[in-house]
Structure 1
Amino acid sequence: MSRGFVKEEDQEEVPMVPPRADLPEGAINYVTQVGMDELLDERERLTTERDQLEAINEKEKRITTNYINAKLQLLNNRILTAKIVDLSTQPQDEVRFGAQVTLKIGSDKKLQKYQIVGVDEADISKGKISFLSPIARLLTDKQVGEIAVLKLAKEDRSFEIIKIEYPYI
């Protein structure tokens, strides 16, 4: 039967699912063990939410289930493509993936601390930046005492590396 003969109220809404953090085509999906654990926890939460879903009516339940399933599909793809980086194997004297870097930014007296993590783990409010971010790329392979300069439109910003740590949590 043609869709033209279906009642409007019987048509399913296609759920709009926000995309996950951007991972460019061909980029390896690096994650820390903490990041992988967070992805697995998120999958568990979504699965539990879907399985315990209570809705006012069947249509609402179906739409919500489809939305959660779409989110799970994106999440499962990230989990399947994730490559866990063992931080204990990283060169301890260089900034690499997983490093927690203490920086002196410009002339600011206050030191800043950032960890370079996977795209799904990145959260600037927690001091975690994506390994694909311009600052992470700028700092990669640098050592304590080196200064990396980020060229901005109006000024250059310098990042002096004060300390490099690899949390094994």
Structure 2
Amino acid sequence: MNKFPITHQGAKKMEEELKQLKHMRPEVIQAIATAREQGDLSENAEYHAAREKQGFIEGRIAELENKISRADIIDFTNLHHDTVTFGATVELLDEDTNEKKSFSIVGEYESDISKGLISNVSPLAEELIGKRVGDIVEVNTPRGLVSYEILSIQYKELNI
């Protein structure tokens, strides 16, 4: 069973979703029972919708339980590295556009590029890990090879 890194916040979010899904189980079971009482199941849309919802919930519960059991929760909030590691929030300068960007390196199950959360196995994160402020990294992107200068490295609580 392969472990994978995850932040404390990411693990907490998974556990909250699992709790919520388990809380939904009885209401879905009741909806199936109510729909069964209506007669012919082959043409009963409510029954089929409730069964589909139950299948989704049970599948997601199994997936979350598996992930949680394999999670290696890493607390990086007390780290003060001068190099980029898991959990770092890195401010970068795009050398072509002079645009500043900020990314936090998290586990692949909690990454969300719209929030600036990149997976530790993404090409950008793999280039950043081990680097220091002032270093230049080059990453292949859809627009071609992009060079970034590392402006700052912080270890702080993330909003996941």
**Cα separation, 1, equivalents of 2:86 and 2:25:** 34
Q: Which residue of 2 aligns with 1:38?
A: 13
| Offset of residue 65 of structure 1 | 1.9
Call closer, same or farther: CA 1:152–1:42 in 2, change over 3 Å: closer
**Cα separation, 2, equivalents of 1:153 and 1:136:** 16
**Cα separation, 2, equivalents of 1:154 and 1:40:** 37
Matches within 5 A, 1:70-89: 70-88=59-77
**Cα separation, 2, equivalents of 1:31 and 1:48:** 24
What is the aligned residue count? 144
Is 2:139 the counterpart of 1:164?
A: no
Q: Which structure carries more strand by proportion? A: 2
**Cα separation, 2, equivalents of 1:153 and 1:65:** 39
**Cα separation, 1, equivalents of 2:144 and 2:78:** 36
Q: Which residue of 2 aligns with 1:16?
A: none
8 Å CA contact 1:93, 1:143 repeated in 2: yes
Q: Which structure carries more helix by proportion? A: 2
SS of the residue 2:54 aligns to: helix
Q: Which residue of 1 aligns with 2:35?
A: 57
Divergent runs of 4+, >3 A: 58-63, 88-91, 151-155
Identify which range, 151-160 or 42-51, moves more after superposition.
151-160
8 Å CA contact 1:90, 1:96 repeated in 2: no
Question: Unpaired segments of 5 or more residues in structure 1?
Answer: 1-24
Question: Unpaired segments of 5 or more residues in structure 2?
Answer: 37-46
Match of 2:123 among 130, 134, 138: 134
| Offset of residue 151 of structure 1 | 4.1
Match of 1:123 among 106, 112, 116: 112
**Cα separation, 2, equivalents of 1:147 and 1:81:** 34
8 Å CA contact 2:78, 2:155 repeated in 1: no
| Cα root mean square deviation, aligned | 2.2
**Cα separation, 1, equivalents of 2:94 and 2:124:** 11
Match of 1:145 among 130, 134, 148: 134
What TM-score, normalized to structure 1? 0.76
What TM-score, normalized to structure 2? 0.80
